[in-house]
Amino acid sequence: MTRFLVTAMPFTGHVTPLRAVAQGLVARGHDVRFYTGAAFREGVEASGAVLVPWSEAPDFDENDLRATFPRLEGRKGLRQVFVNLEDVMINTAPAQVADLQAEWDRKPWDALVTDDTSIGAALFADRSGCPRATVAVLPLHLTSRQGPPSGMGLTPGRNPLTKTRDAALRGIAPLAMRPLTKPIVRARVAVGLPPASLTFEQTVLSPERILATGSSLLDFARTDRPAHLDFVGVLTALPAAPTDLPRWWGDLDGRVVVHVTQGTQNIDPTDLIRPALDALADRDVLVVVSTGVRGRDELPFPVPANARIAGLLPYDELLPATDVVITNGGWGGTLAALGHGIPLVIAGGDLDKPEIAARVAWTGAGVDLRTGTPTAAQVAAGFERASTDRSMTDAAARVAAELRSLGGAPRAAELLEGFAARPGR
């Protein structure tokens, strides 16, 4: 039996795949603790792991980040990305280290398993010498000699001009991330580590072991990935408990079902949900909308007769009945849909969403609307293509087959077991 400490930043899209990994490790007979926000206690405990809640670190509400991190107020796009990385991920790291040190003093573990934004866990591992593996729950942001830098929402160049563009962008990409160097240095010094001019990527991704959600196809089929990286497909846990389905669930039977979601952050329904409802109001489809907030089962505007609304929905029940997904491009939901071979219409407006939209469009499995606030006409055109273009359905099926072949959470747990059992551990 190996003692694992799993960590994830307290976001649904980070905790859910790590919970699946924790469940896989528990199933293999290991002792697992899980460091994240207290709001995720039920799901963590259902996986068989023991919750270690954020204590010194500010246990924020993912649906109201501005309450804890006021600098996010009014920021979108690139400005939001940098404030999110600095205030939420980096500046909370010293307090995360304090929490982890307290738990280590109580009961040490053999290996850390962290998501790819847990700076605090990375710094603790550097300080303590604890073996650390990273599970990338976001699209893999790892430097490559091929294609454009990750995060720019660009697909690889196909001609001399765009290939030259990619090379030039790879050259200047480190400069673009320099604003994060000083915050990372401050966090290192605050926990007793020497200053080091490391990038966010170099800080948070383990140099020993990386397991990446998704697949090579969703990484632009790059061929220069390191030997310590494995793709593991979709990390799905068994449901925590049977879910009470909405009273209208039977309406899905025999219908063309379109699922619309804006994820759990930046959830203003006028961005995507409203134009999607307008675009599909007169079509013979059933539109199933998730508001992204548990218990928020209504929208602040009238909805058409063919729409059904819920706060959160059980994907294991919904996706097998779904024909098209219209989404803001959250990675977890995108992988879940592609895992079922469902073509996507993606309105990726902020954070990593434009990158995700570009990757899916590159595979041929989705439409990239190239905006997070599309018009009804744009959504309608995207839906028309996703629902009628056979090549898109075939591409989604190819991605689904690759994702299934990678083994998911059971394979991730097996790889982590082998990592922790290496000689000298």
Across the range 389-404, mean pLDDT stands at: 97
Nearest residue to 234 (alpha-carbon basis) of 381, 403, 358, 36: 403
Tens digit of each residue's pLDDT (9 = 90 or more) over 261-277: 987 666 789 999 999 99
**Chain centroid to CA 396:** 19
244 belongs to a structural domain: no
Residues paired with residue 230 on neighbouring β-strands, in sequence order: 211
Segment 214-224 shows an average pLDDT of 96
Q: Is 130 exposed, middle or buried (0-12, 13-18, 19+ CB in 10 A)?
A: middle
Q: Verify that 163 and 268 share a domain, yes or no.
A: no
Tell me how far apart the alpha carbons of residues 309 and 75 are, in angstroms, rounded to a whole number: 28
Q: Is the same domain home to 390 and 272?
A: yes
Q: In 177-326, which residue ranges form alpha helices assigned H by DSSP?
A: 181-190, 200-204, 273-280, 315-318
For residue 332, the domain's CATH number is 3.40.50.2000
Total of domains in the chain = 2
Dump pLDDT digits (tens) for 135-176. Answer: 999 999 999 999 999 988 999 999 999 999 999 999 998 888
Task: Specify the DSSP class assigned to residue 69.
Answer: -
Contact 322, 340 (CB under 8 A): yes
Q: What are phi and psi of 229, to 5 degrees?
A: -110, 135
Least confident of 49-63, 85-99, 284-298, 325-339: 284-298
Domain that holds residue 144: 3-238+406-420
Q: Which of 69-78, 217-226, 257-266, 294-303 has the highest mean pLDDT?
A: 217-226
On whether the CB atoms of residues 32 and 50 are closer than 8 A, the answer is yes
Backbone angles phi, psi at 111, to 5 degrees: -155, 145
| Residue 167 belongs to a domain | yes
CA distance 101 to 250: 50
pLDDT at 287 over 90: yes
Looking at the fold, whether 17 and 153 belong to one and the same domain comes out as yes
Which region among 14-28, 294-308, 359-373 has the lowest average model confidence (pLDDT)?
294-308
| Mean predicted confidence (pLDDT) in 413-425 | 87
Indicate if 29 and 146 belong to the same structural domain: yes
- Classify residue 243: in a domain, yes or no: no
Whether 195 and 318 share a structural domain? no
Burial of 218-242, coded b for 16+ CB within 10 Å and e otherwise, reads bbbeeeebeeebebbbbbbbeeeee
